Structure 1
Amino acid sequence: MFFIVTFLFISCDKKRVFDEYLPILNQKWSKHNTLQFAFTATDTLQKHNLFINVRNNKDYPFSNLFIIAQMSFPDGNVITDTLEYDMADGAGRFLGEGTLDIKDNKLFYKEKIIFPAKGTYTFKVRQSMRKNGNVDGIEELDGLTHVGFRIEKTE
């Protein structure tokens, strides 16, 4: 029965090319903790959507999230982006799917991209939060339990 359920779950996700989560130690994301995901691209014709997945709990203290994302290509080129995502609505309710205490957020990173070369790509992400008026970043960002990276085929 386990194998049947596992097969059905996997087969229902036909868009998925890569999907991996990493846990955040003690649910406190250090500004020095860069998370890294490596994947191999074999298709240089298919368009893909790239997502950063963030799982937070009720202890997340902000309504937004700033992160630095970096994609390294097989030829050595690197693209770095500073990104901001909303994590809560105007009333302070967390966005995403899940229970009241845990929310899963699927955040767009890149849309309809084509990998220019076959080979191994590396995606790195780190938090870059700071309080208003402060130059120094937040040392440990509370309330984040997992961060993931997902690649999907587009239609």
Structure 2
Amino acid sequence: MKLFVQAGLLFIGAVLFSCTDSAIVTEAKIDTPETNWTQTTKMDFPFEITDVSASYKLFYQIRYNNDYPYYNLWVNRILLDENGNMISKKLQGMDLFHASTGEPYGAGFGNFFDYKILSDSMQRFPKAGKYTIRLEQTMRKDTLSGIGSVGVEIIKNIQ
């Protein structure tokens, strides 16, 4: 019986250990005050790159509700080096709701929906070090209601 318990604990430990993903560089989110994202609110996500030979996937993680007035969201994604110098700037649009049916994308719980959107699948970084991804909403309306949080996930591509 003791051997059975030890084997069971070893199995559970192996399963838990295998579920951790060492390829995740960072996963972070920032909540918006009162589910409002203003154009002056810049979302900064610091992270560190150690392997410049690898490419990385960049994802946006948007939490929103039915109060969001549009079907899409446009953001500037700015990549900054450790000194705050801009390396790149990219305007990107993403659909949060189906344009004709109005159905929300992502997984829902209550009135909120969580949606993970691929930004880039082969992002490379020029050197090892600390970086920041800054997201700015660029919609025509200064204050966007219905955005609960904005996040970034960076995953190292494993060959």
Please give the range of the TM-score, normalised by the shorter of the 2 chains: 0.7 to 0.9
Calculate the TM-score normalised by the size of structure 1. Answer: 0.83
| Among candidates 62, 73, 79, match of residue 54 of structure 1 | 62
Q: Is the aligned partner of 1:148 residue 2:156? A: no
Residue by residue, what CA displacement relative to the aligned partner does 1:46-71 show, whole Å, maximum 9, x if unpaired? 22101111110121111000111100
Output the amino acid matched with 2:47. F
Aligned position for 2:115: 105
- Within 2, Cα distance between the matches of 1:24 and 1:118? 31
Output the amino acid matched with 1:50. L
Secondary structure in 1 matching 2:51: coil
Compare the two structures and name the one with the higher helix fraction: 2
- Structure 2 gaps of 5+ residues are 1-11
Calculate the TM-score normalised by the size of structure 2. Answer: 0.81
Secondary structure in 1 matching 2:34: helix
- 8 Å contact 2:25–2:47 — kept in the other structure? no
Q: Is the aligned partner of 1:32 residue 2:35? A: no
| Among candidates 123, 126, 144, match of residue 133 of structure 2 | 123
Output the amino acid matched with 1:38. P
Runs of 4+ in 1 over 3 A off after TM superposition: 7-15, 74-77
- Structure 1 gaps of 5+ residues are 131-137
Aligned position for 1:78: 87
- Within 2, Cα distance between the matches of 1:65 and 1:106? 13
- 8 Å contact 1:49–1:153 — kept in the other structure? yes
Output the amino acid matched with 1:95. Y
- Within 2, Cα distance between the matches of 1:77 and 1:61? 31
Number of matched pairs: 144
Q: Rg bigger for which structure?
A: 2
Q: CA RMSD in A?
A: 2.3
